[in-house]
Each structure stands twice: as C-alpha cells, then as structure tokens.
Chains A and B, each alone.
Chain A
Amino acid sequence: MNDDHDQPNPQGASAPRRRFLRTAGAASIGVAGFPFVHAQEKVTLRYLGTAVNQDKKIAEKFEADTGIKIQYIAVTTDDVTKRAVTAPNSFDLIDTEYFSLKKIIPTGNLLGIDTKRIKNADKITTLFTKGEVGGKKVGDQGTAPKKVMYLEKPDAKAFANAPTPYMTLIPTVYNADTLGIRPDLIKRPIESWTELLNPEFKGKAAILNIPSIGIMDAAMVVEATGLYKYPDKGNMTKKEIDLTIKALIDAKKAGQFRALWKDFNESVNLMASGEVVIQSMWSPAVTAVRTKGIACTFQPLKEGYRAWAAGFGVPKTLSGKKADAAYEFINWFLDGWAGAYLNRQGYYSAVLETAKAKMEPYEWAYWMEGKPATSDIKSPNGDLLAKVGAVRDGGSYEARMGGIACWNALMDENVYMVQKWNEFVAA
C-alpha cells in the first residue's frame, strides 16, 4: 500500500504535505544533527506476531512519535514460526517466542541484532542475559531465553554459549503463567498443579492445545502428583513423553476436559461462560475475564510457574531505510512508554527502569512490588482491574519471576511429541 518510491502524485492533494515533511525533515536534520528515517518518506513496517501482543495504541503512539507506520500481521504462535521459516520476506519485524528460535535460527532467516545499535541493550533484565532475578538463579528447564539469546556472528545458524554483541531477539514481553481459576465457582483454595486433573473438576477443566506449551503444563501436573520427576521437563525422552501423554489421555477419557483451547479468546469465553472453572491460562486472558466483571484468579501454585518470553527479531533480507526503521522501533519499544503500557496489562517489560519512569508510583507499587493498591488500578483502556487495597496475584516481580519452574520448550523429540499430542486430541 505504502511504498517507498517517490512516485509522482496524480492527485496532487498531498503534495504540499510532502513538501512540508521534507522541510520538516531538513529542519530536524539541522536540529538533531542526524537524519531521522521518517523525515524523508513514510516507511511502513510489517510486524508479524500474535494478536495478543499487537496493540493498536502502541502502533498509534509509535507513529505519532516517529512517523513510521506499523502494519500488524496477526497470526497464531505456530504460524509465526511457520512464516519465519517458509516466508521470511513477508515481514519486516518478527515478534516471536524464544522457544521458536530453535526452528528459525538454523534456517538463517533471521539476522542477529547488533546490540551496539540498541541504546538500552545493557539494561535488559538479567532474566534474559544471565537467567537470574534479583541476583538469584531461576529455573531453566525448557527453552530458557539465556540458552538461545546470543549468536557468534549476525548470520550464525547456531547459538553462542556465552554473551556476544549479537542477540537473536530483543525481549519485548514475558510472563510467568499458571492456572486460571473461577474462585466464585470453586469456593476453596487452589494451591497445586495437581488440581487441573482433580476429578472434582470433571468436565470443567481445560488445557491449551498448543503442543509445545500444553505438554509443559501437563508435565507440571505429573510432577506435582508425584507420579514422576523429570530430569528436564523441557526436553523429555520418548518414554517421558509417553508417560505424560498417557496421564492426559486417561484424564480425557474420564471426561476431565470440557474443551481444549488454542486461541486466547477461546480461553476467555470458556472461563467467562462458566463452561470451565480451572484451566491453563494466559495473564491477559485473566484480565479480559475480569474486565467483564467476572471473578477470575491467576492462581500462584506451590510448584512454580511456567514462563514464556517473546522478542523482536529482524529478517535477514531487511536493509536500508526499513532496517533503520526496525531498529528505531525496537529502541522506541525499550524506551519506556511501551514497557509501561505492557506492565499495566500484567506483562513484564524487558527494560524495567525506563518503564518505571513512565508509570505512576502507585502503579509501579501494585504491579511490580506486589504492594496493595493505594488507588484504583486501571488497564490501559481505562477498565477497572483492581480496587484500592487489592494485591496482585503472585505478588512482586521477584516473587513471581523468581518462582519460575520451567520455560515453554521445543524438545529434541518434538516430532514424536506432536504425534503423541495428536493421539491425546483424538483419544
């Protein structure tokens, strides 16, 4: 739609605007000392990711700040990976989960991001660079970001073992997931992952139907019941996969699951309608149920959380103005406004201190420090999320992220795992 070529404008209507932009561009060069990308001609970045992360307000704010347009391409988690592998020319910026990198990096379709061009690169939280929260190591079973964070050189097809100047992805959002419950329908405390397969909730439980993530939830349950202790939940052997899937199939045959869900909105509907009272869930889905005025808790459990993280990557084919624009967007994203926006949704941002500067102190205290709210907490859209005195599920950043037990994972036996997962779906 919006191409970069300077074509004659048949209507002539926007010609004065164009001239103005050029003048403005020249002025900004004069003032700032270096040329801004947007000052020359409008650039559009095609941003490939899942709908959950693609907020309209973020794109609007970025365009207002820089003049660069963001065109969202919203697909499912699996499809993001598929497009990165099969159609690397179909986007200018990718927002993907870290576990997908094991499929994408070997294709050479992504180019390592030069951290020298990322202003806040050294301020990215230690969770990504070292696998630590507040100086303490967290669980790294599964595809922990630190394992796939660095490349030896930009076009490397394998991961580096130690930090290098080239990052695979610049983290955008991450969180620690757990079970979502309807406290008003369950009416008793829930403390362990075992409750997902507790026959008490027969026909009222759900699990998500994305094999890489669902299997991790199932593993958390299996371990919590004491059935088996995995050496590494994130990289199971065939035998361990058999055992985990068998536990799921047995539960399914006994009628435990009301449904499986694949899409964020499905999980919201299942919970809000009361079809399901306990299920694997994502944080913004819990928020979405709550904004409907329905009680829903993102219940912290004693065995810990299953964490996930997503980040921005750039395709190998990106060059020139578009590459500059992509870097500008990433820099802008880490600069605070977007981080604050995400923190207010219950996610966490990659650079905490810039986000803190853009949040009210009471917001920061509620979302990040786990303190009771001193005034009403609202979502970025203005919906009421928590009243005065409420405390965030799971407490402070350190308490939540420090409680990570494992990460979403791509296993070595992935083909076999998916095959077994299909068996579970068909059972």
Chain B
Amino acid sequence: MSSSRRSDLTAAPPDLGAAVLAVRQYGAAPHTDLGALAAPSHPAASLPGRVNRPKHVVAWLQAAPLTAVFVVFFLVPLVLIAMVSFWQATDYELIPAFTAQSYLDILAGCGAGEGSCVMLSTYLSTLKFSLLTWIFTTLIGFTVAYFLAFHVRSTLMQTVLFILCTVPFWTSNVIRMISWIPLLGRNGLVNDVLVSSGAIGQPIEWLLFSDFSVVLAFVHLYTMFMIVPIFNSMMRIDRALLEAARDNGASAWQTVVHVILPLCKTGLIIGSIFVIALVMGDFVTVGVMGGQQIASVGKVIQVQANVLQFPAAAANAMVLLAVVLLMIVALMRLVDLRKEL
C-alpha cells in the first residue's frame, strides 16, 4: 500500500509517476538507464540527462499548490505565533523585543507552595480530561463498532445503524452540549426524578458544572470520532481469520483480544488522535459544562487573547502544540499508519 500512497502524492499519470519514482530511487546517479524504467510509450524519457530535469520540475509543480496552501495557511501563521510568543506587549501594542518571559510565566509560582503553580496544574487538568475522555470514548466506540461490524449481519442494516449514529451530528456542537444543562441542573430532569422517587433527599450538585459534566459532554460529543475509524478497520478484517480462530478453539473473548483488537489498531490510533487533539484544544465545552470555573489550556489562551496579551497566548499555544504533537508521535510509534492504511 505504501507505494500506491507515494504515487498518489505526486498524482501523476502512470508513466510520469514511474519516472518520478525512478528519479527518487536513482536520483543520485542520473546516468543510470532511466529509459528502461520509464514507460516505453514516452519516447522523450529514453533520453537520459535531458528529461531528468523537466520531470523534476513537473513533479515539484504538481506538489506546489498543496505546498503553497500549507505554507500560507499553516507554516506562516505558525512561525508568526512562534515569533510573537517571544515578544513583549502592553495593553495596546506588541513590542518586538526578544524575551522568554511568556514561557517563564507558564512555570511562574511553581515550587512556591500548593495552589500557586497555576499554568502547570491547568495543563495537568487538561491532560486529565483528555485521558478520561479517551478511556470512555475508546470503550464505547469499540463496543459500538464491534456490534455494528460483527453482530449486524445485513449490509443494509449496518448502513442504517451507522447513519443513525451520525444523526446527533446534524445539530450543532453547542446545542448538543447545552441540552445537557436542563437535564442535569439542580432543578433538572435527573434530579427531579431522583428526588420525587425518594432515591435521594437533596438534589445532587455535582451533576452539573463539575468535572463529571465536562467529561460527559466530551464523551457525548466525540465518541463518533472513535466509532468511525474503528468500524472502518473492523470491516477490513478478513472474516476467514475469525473462522480460523473459532476452528482453533478460541472463545469469543479470545478472538476479540487476540485477533480483532490487534487488527483494529490503526482505527484505534486514528480515533485516539482525533479525540485527544480535540479535547486538548477545547475551550467551549469546558466553559459551558464547567460553569466557567474549570480551567483548561484553551480557555486560558482565549482569555489571554481577549485581553490582548498576545505573547502569553502565543507561548501557551506553542506549548500546547508541542504537548499534543508529542502525544501524537507517541501514538504513531505504536503503529505504522503509512503501512497500515
């Protein structure tokens, strides 16, 4: 699969793709017999030396649009953010003078006693939410995908149920989140039912504006991002393998652990990347479901940007980016996505 991906990248007609590949493989030695590698239908390709260069240019040109988009909309802003994070600022202007103060401020107060190491504990609390959300979305996502892939027999039913899973996505993120509030509030539906049935005497306070409600909303919002890639991986598993497992006397549980789980690794990793990246950067859900009194890194960045403290916001953005990248690198080491896809 890896070679097909490579030629996809260069998105060339077959002969050109082959030539590009040839140039890649033999690029250091332009006088190797290129003609033999290039498609015979292309006479120009049989002239070594003269073709090499234009081909190269064409390949670069083909990659250029995407590269340009990345440079303009991703690299340049990122470099700017990195640059601003080392600047100083007043309430109304940015001063381009180099200082690492914004980064030092993240560590400010650490070691000065309990509760003063604010930014670091905010990072930890954001990590905690990521971890909790990841655990729950993985469990639920795997279960739902397993049911869809192996228990639902007809393709039609599978499609229908799969679409059913996506129905909540037809409404906006914010609405799905806010709709929890009347349900979980002090005088909300859940408390009303529990109190009137006599199960509890006082309404439960921690249902809303708490860690619980934040994680609940995250799981609700992001489980779909787990289900889709896992389901996709499961559908690619050769059913003969499951039969073989059963024939060899494996129990259903053993099949899941030793056959299905390893073969779904790609889906699990892709889903995990989605969920972790989304939760780490979130500031809306934590704000709404946490009653604005639970900190998250995204929220802090938002507050800092709002009060025009751009260097501090930029520094936090860089650190957050680094943390998320590290997590993704770690996940990628578990599976070679390029090979698996």
Assess the A104–B92 pair: CB atoms within 8 A: yes
How far apart are the CA atoms of A287 and B208 in the complex, in Å? 26
Given A259-B209, A273-B182, A85-B295 contact (CB < 8 Å): no
Chain B's nearest CB lies how many Å from the CB of A226? 25
Chain B's nearest CB lies how many Å from the CB of A239? 16
How far apart are the CA atoms of A78 and B105 in the complex, in Å? 22
Assess the A258–B209 pair: CB atoms within 8 A: yes
**Which chain B residue has the least Cβ–Cβ distance from A427?**
B115
**Does B303 belong to the interface (CB within 8 Å)?**
yes
Chain B's nearest CB lies how many Å from the CB of A401? 28
As a 0/1 sequence over residues 206 to 235 of chain B, the CB contacts with chain A under 8 angstroms (1 = contact) are 001100000000000000000000000000
Which residue from A103, A203, A269 sits with its C-beta under 8 Å from B308? A103
Assess the A422–B295 pair: CB atoms within 8 A: yes
How far apart are the CA atoms of A36 and B80 in the complex, in Å? 46
**Does B10 belong to the interface (CB within 8 Å)?**
no
Assess the A260–B307 pair: CB atoms within 8 A: no
Given A106-B92, A209-B292, A422-B300, A275-B186 contact (CB < 8 Å): yes
**Does B304 belong to the interface (CB within 8 Å)?**
yes
Given A81-B308, A427-B115, A261-B91 contact (CB < 8 Å): no
Assess the A275–B185 pair: CB atoms within 8 A: yes
**Does B291 belong to the interface (CB within 8 Å)?**
yes
Residues in A neighbouring B115, C-beta threshold 8 A: 249, 427
Assess the B303–A273 pair: CB atoms within 8 A: no
Residues in A neighbouring B303, C-beta threshold 8 A: 211, 418, 421-422, 425
**Does B260 belong to the interface (CB within 8 Å)?**
no
Assess the B185–A273 pair: CB atoms within 8 A: yes
Residues in B neighbouring A103, C-beta threshold 8 A: 91-92, 308
Which residue from A257, A259, A273, A423 sits with its C-beta under 8 Å from B118? A423
Residues in B neighbouring A259, C-beta threshold 8 A: 209, 291-293
Given A81-B308, A274-B186, A422-B118, A414-B91 contact (CB < 8 Å): yes
Chain B's nearest CB lies how many Å from the CB of A339? 31
Residues in B neighbouring A249, C-beta threshold 8 A: 115
How far apart are the CA atoms of A76 and B185 in the complex, in Å? 26
**Which chain A residue has the least Cβ–Cβ distance from B188?**
A273
Chain A's nearest CB lies how many Å from the CB of B275? 23
Using a Cβ–Cβ cut-off of 8 Å, how many residues does chain A contribute to the interface with B? 39
Residues in A neighbouring B108, C-beta threshold 8 A: 419
Residues in B neighbouring A422, C-beta threshold 8 A: 118, 295, 300, 303-304
As a 0/1 sequence over residues 245 to 275 of chain A, the CB contacts with chain B under 8 angstroms (1 = contact) are 0000100100001111110001001000111
**Does B306 belong to the interface (CB within 8 Å)?**
yes
**Does A426 belong to the interface (CB within 8 Å)?**
yes
Assess the B306–A79 pair: CB atoms within 8 A: yes
Assess the A85–B92 pair: CB atoms within 8 A: yes
Assess the B181–A82 pair: CB atoms within 8 A: no
Chain B's nearest CB lies how many Å from the CB of A263? 9
How far apart are the CA atoms of A273 and B299 in the complex, in Å? 25
Assess the A418–B304 pair: CB atoms within 8 A: yes
Assess the B291–A258 pair: CB atoms within 8 A: yes
Which residue from A106, A260, A419 sits with its C-beta under 8 Å from B292? A260
Chain A's nearest CB lies how many Å from the CB of B303? 6
**Which chain B residue has the least Cβ–Cβ distance from A274?**
B187
How far apart are the CA atoms of A104 and B300 in the complex, in Å? 23
**Does B247 belong to the interface (CB within 8 Å)?**
no
Residues in B neighbouring A273, C-beta threshold 8 A: 181-182, 185-187
Assess the A426–B308 pair: CB atoms within 8 A: no
Residues in B neighbouring A209, C-beta threshold 8 A: 292
**Does B336 belong to the interface (CB within 8 Å)?**
no
Assess the A78–B306 pair: CB atoms within 8 A: yes
Assess the A419–B105 pair: CB atoms within 8 A: yes
Residues in B neighbouring A414, C-beta threshold 8 A: 91, 307
How far apart are the CA atoms of A126 and B180 in the complex, in Å? 48
Most buried by B among A211, A274, A419, A427: A419
Chain B's nearest CB lies how many Å from the CB of A281? 15
How far apart are the CA atoms of A203 and B293 in the complex, in Å? 12
Which residue from B91, B116, B122, B182 sits with its C-beta under 8 Å from A410? B91
**Does A107 belong to the interface (CB within 8 Å)?**
yes
**Does A415 belong to the interface (CB within 8 Å)?**
yes
Given A273-B187, A275-B186, A261-B304 contact (CB < 8 Å): no
**Does A46 belong to the interface (CB within 8 Å)?**
no
- For window 380-427 of A, CB contacts with B under 8 Å fall at 410, 414-415, 418-419, 421-423, 425-427
Residues in B neighbouring A102, C-beta threshold 8 A: 91
Given A106-B92, A274-B186, A260-B118 contact (CB < 8 Å): no
Assess the A260–B291 pair: CB atoms within 8 A: yes
As a 0/1 sequence over residues 103 to 115 of chain B, the CB contacts with chain A under 8 angstroms (1 = contact) are 0010010000001
Assess the B291–A82 pair: CB atoms within 8 A: no
Assess the B185–A262 pair: CB atoms within 8 A: no
How far apart are the CA atoms of A254 and B305 in the complex, in Å? 30
**Which chain B residue has the least Cβ–Cβ distance from A157?**
B92
As a 0/1 sequence over residues 74 to 88 of chain A, the CB contacts with chain B under 8 angstroms (1 = contact) are 001011011001100
Given A104-B92, A273-B187, A410-B91, A418-B295 contact (CB < 8 Å): no
Assess the B300–A257 pair: CB atoms within 8 A: no
6 additional A-B residue pairs with CB within 8 Å, beyond A211-B303, A266-B292, A426-B125: A107-B92, A259-B291, A273-B182, A273-B186, A418-B309, A425-B303
The 17 sampled A-B contact pairs (Cβ below 8 Å) are: A79-B306, A81-B308, A258-B291, A259-B293, A262-B292, A273-B187, A275-B185, A275-B186, A410-B91, A418-B309, A421-B303, A422-B118, A422-B295, A422-B304, A423-B118, A426-B118, A426-B125
The 6 closest A-B pairs by CB, nearest first: A259-B291, A426-B295, A260-B292, A78-B306, A103-B91, A106-B92
Which B residues are closer than 8 A to A by beta carbons? 91-93, 105, 108, 115-116, 118, 121-122, 125, 181-182, 185-187, 205, 208-209, 287, 291-293, 295, 299-300, 303-309
Which A residues are closer than 8 A to B by beta carbons? 76, 78-79, 81-82, 85-86, 102-104, 106-107, 203, 209, 211, 249, 252, 257-262, 266, 269, 273-275, 410, 414-415, 418-419, 421-423, 425-427
